Each structure stands twice: as C-alpha cells, then as structure tokens.
C-alpha cells in the first residue's frame, strides 16, 4: 500500500515539470483534500492604490518548462536577470534599458547572483558560469557535483554555490577553482528547489532539504554553527519532507528568518545560531519584513503577518487560497505577492486587506519579486520582467 502510494507521488511529481507551464500550483498537491479543492477565484476589490508599469522587458523563455524559480538580483543601479534557455541580461533598473545581452549554450536553472564585477548563474548540467558584469564576457566555467537550482553568491573573493545533492561548494572568484566543499545529508524525497546561499561578509548561511541551517566560513568552508529548523515526523517519506527552499532573510535586529516546509517559521541569532523564537508553519517560500512584522505565504497560499516572540499571527489573508503565490515582498506600505495566473496582489501591511492588483504575465509568476526604492520588479514565467510603481 505504501509502495503504491509512493509510486503515485513520484509520478505526480514528475508530471509537475510539464504542468507547471500551464499555471498549475505543484505545492497544492500537498494540501489537504487536494483533489477536491480548486484555487480561489479572485474577488472584486475596491482598488485603494494606482499601480503603474514603468517598463517591461522580455528575457528569453523566462522560467522554461520546468519548475525553475530564476530570480533577478539588483546590484547598484543595475538589475541582473537570466532565462532558462541561456539568455543573461544586465539592465538599467530605472529605465529598463539593456546594457548587454549574452546567450549561453546552457539550460540555466540557478540564478542570478553576483556583485559589481561578476554575474553568476548555475546550470542544469552542473556548471557554474561567471560573466563580466560590465561586458557580458564569460570569465570562467566550473563543474560542481550536481544540478544548480539556486543563485550562487559571492563576497568578491569566494563564490559559493549550492547544488541539489546538498553540497555547498566554494570557488575562487577570479578563476573558478574549487577551494572547499561542505556536505549535508539529503532525504530520500525532497521538493525540487534549493535555498540560495546568503553571503554576509566573511561567512555564508545556507539552508538544506534536511531542515537544517548552517553558517560556514567563506575562506575555508569550516562550520561555524548549525541549527535544526524542522524535524522530520511521520511514517512516510512524504510526511517527513522538511525542505527549506525559500530565500533567507536577515532583519535589522540581526535575526535570520527561516520558513520551512512542514516545519517551523524560525528566528535565529545570525551570530550564535541560537533559535530565539519559532512558530509552527509550513512554507516553501522565503519571508519578508516590515512595520515590525515578518510576512510569509504558507503552504495553502495564505499570507500571514507575525511579530517575533508571538505565537499568533497579527493578521492572515486567505483570499488567495491555493493560487500558487510567491514569497511575499514588502513594498512601501504593502506586501506584494504574485500568483499562477500572473497577477500581482497588494496587501496592506497594517491589517492584511487586499487593496490592489495588476496582471504582468499570463504565464504566471513563480519567482520571488524584488523591491528597491519606489519600484517593484516582477519576473514572469514567460520572461516578462516588469517594473511597477504605486501611486496613492
């Protein structure tokens, strides 16, 4: 009976690669009564804000036909972005003007990372590629242990990349030469995806599919501390999945905020690794903060606001139930999330009211959004990168 169930699970998970392009939410598979429930229909709202698209640029085939979550990155006045079919671009983030465009002969599955000197991407065939941030010239290419599904990070001297087999590799930023290797245990069954390494000066924090978070020295790969966020429970491999796939967040108070699947939302001291607070929550997305709150989108696509050290949510919005929403992004006075139909929804940080929406990509949005200043950047599955602003 268990074997039959497991084979059915595997078959469905494989099919998610094909179905994701149709806007179906793979994570709804793990929701209760999944076969009986449908994504919530959008309700009419009284728009309290005016949303304007300042510019839009198409980037290759976007996320491609697999469940990739390629996310742009802002570096200074520029935004770096890549598509699954190998297009890498650097744009002026204010105007959307292309500064350069390079087409690589690779399937990009991890990215984008980098700094003022490097643009970094990872590939399906286990390569890490560094491009010159000013010209787009390929500087080096290095093969790591397996497929890369998240953005590499760097402090300018070392590049760190997490591969799907649970290994974190440190590479020389100038040459791509391997400097060190850190390994974690990988459960028998995991969600497709990995969290991106978070580089903080001379150390990197990374989260793994086994529910742990580790702080590792950038220069030599030695472990500084390790903390467990989620504990596998249950009798089946499905029940025991505790992946941490979302981007990590460090608050102004020095707390590392880590949501996990079928585990906890935890706040950890970034220096000591001690858990300061946690509440039982399930999420595969990262968190954001604002107005003294921590915001998450849970496994049912409910948006919630928590205050550290409080076990009850300040507010919760369930109007986007099972709509496959992205990680929340705080923006001005609002929290923004995107969904499987390509809508961007704006929610009040004060009370969780839905106050506005706009559509950016009919292929949907999986990638987490990013905000800087008065602009919100949304990268749709079909490759539409849009810059949005809000007027009251």
Q: What is the pLDDT of residues 135-193, one digit of tens each?
A: 999 999 999 999 999 999 999 999 999 999 999 999 999 999 999 999 998 887 888 88
Residue 391: per-residue pLDDT: 84
Q: Give which of 318, 320, 325 is closest to 285, Cα–Cα.
A: 325
Nearest to 381 by CA among 41, 52, 83: 83
CB 339 within 8 A of CB 323: yes
> Which pair of tokens denotes residue 186?
């990988």
357's CB contacts (< 8 A; 6+ apart) are 42, 45, 47, 51, 343, 344, 345, 346
Inter-residue long-range contacts of 357-360, CB under 8 Å, 24+ positions, other chains counted: 357/42, 357/45, 357/47, 357/51, 358/51, 358/53, 358/388, 360/53, 360/56, 360/384, 360/386, 360/388
Contacts for 6 with CB less than 8 Å, ≥ 6 apart? 236, 237, 238
Q: Which of 273, 257, 301 is nearest to 216 (CA)?
A: 273
**pLDDT digit string, tens, across residues 208-247:** 999 999 999 999 999 999 999 988 888 888 888 999 999 9
- Residue 192's pLDDT is 86
H or E element in which residue 172 lies? strand 167-172
Question: In this structure, what token pair is assigned to residue 279?
Answer: 């509440």
Phi, psi of 111 (to 5 degrees): 160, 175
Structural domains of the chain, with CATH: 2-391 (2.130.10.10)
- Tally Cβ neighbours within 10 Å of residue 42: 15
DSSP secondary structure code for residue 39 in this structure: P
51, 21, 45: which is closest to 344 by C-alpha?
51
The candidate with the shortest Cα–Cα distance to 112, out of 140, 131, 139, 135, is 131
Place of tokens 């949303």: 51
Cβ atoms of 205 and 270 within 8 Å: the answer is yes
- How do the pLDDT tens digits run along the chain, 392 residues long? 444 334 334 433 443 333 333 333 444 444 444 557 899 999 999 888 999 999 999 999 999 998 899 999 999 999 999 999 999 999 999 999 999 999 999 999 999 999 999 999 999 999 999 999 999 999 999 999 999 999 999 999 999 999 999 999 999 999 999 999 999 988 878 888 899 999 998 999 999 999 999 999 999 999 999 999 988 888 888 888 999 999 999 999 999 999 999 999 999 999 999 999 999 999 999 999 999 999 999 999 999 999 998 999 999 999 999 999 999 999 999 999 999 999 999 999 999 999 999 999 999 999 999 999 999 999 999 999 999 999 86
């Amino acid at each position: 009976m268990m074997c039959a169930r497991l084979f059915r699970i595997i078959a469905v998970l494989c099919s998610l690669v094909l179905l994701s392009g149709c806007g179906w939410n793979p994570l709804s598979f793990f929701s209760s009564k999944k076969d009986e429930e449908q994504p919530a229909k959008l309700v009419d709202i009284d728009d309290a804000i005016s949303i304007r698209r300042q510019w839009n640029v198409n980037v290759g085939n976007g996320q491609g036909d697999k469940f990739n979550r390629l996310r742009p990155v802002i570096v200074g006045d520029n935004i770096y972005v890549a598509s699954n079919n190998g297009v890498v671009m650097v744009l002026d983030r204010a105007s959307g003007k292309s500064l350069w465009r390079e087409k690589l002969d690779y399937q990009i599955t991890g990215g984008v990372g980098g700094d003022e000197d490097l643009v970094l991407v990872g590939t399906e065939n286990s390569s890490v590629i560094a491009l010159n941030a000013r010209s787009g010239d390929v500087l080096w290419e290095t093969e790591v242990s397996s497929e890369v599904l998240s953005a590499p990070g760097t402090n300018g001297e070392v590049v760190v990349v997490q591969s799907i087999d649970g290994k974190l590799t440190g590479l020389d930023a100038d040459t791509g030469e391997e400097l060190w290797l850190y390994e974690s245990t990988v459960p028998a069954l995991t969600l497709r995806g990995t969290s991106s390494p978070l580089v903080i000066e001379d150390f990197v924090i990374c989260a793994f599919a086994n529910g742990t978070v580790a702080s590792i020295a950038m220069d030599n790969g030695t472990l500084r501390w390790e903390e467990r966020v989620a504990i596998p429970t249950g009798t089946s491999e499905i029940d025991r999945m505790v992946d941490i796939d979302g981007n990590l967040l460090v608050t102004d108070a020095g707390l590392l905020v880590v949501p996990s699947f079928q585990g906890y939302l935890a706040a950890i001291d970034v220096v000591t690794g001690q858990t300061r607070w946690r509440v039982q929550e399930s999420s595969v997305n990262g968190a954001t903060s604002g107005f003294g709150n921590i915001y998450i989108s849970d496994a049912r696509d409910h948006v919630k606001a928590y205050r550290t050290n409080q076990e009850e949510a300040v507010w919760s919005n369930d109007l986007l139930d099972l709509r496959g929403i992205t990680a929340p992004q705080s923006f001005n006075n609002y929290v923004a999330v995107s969904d499987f139909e390509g809508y961007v929804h704006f929610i009040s940080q004060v009370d969780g009211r839905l106050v506005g929406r706009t559509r950016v990509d009919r292929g949907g949005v999986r990638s987490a959004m990013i905000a800087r200043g008065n602009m919100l950047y949304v990268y749709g599955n079909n490759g539409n990168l849009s810059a949005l602003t809000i007027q009251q």
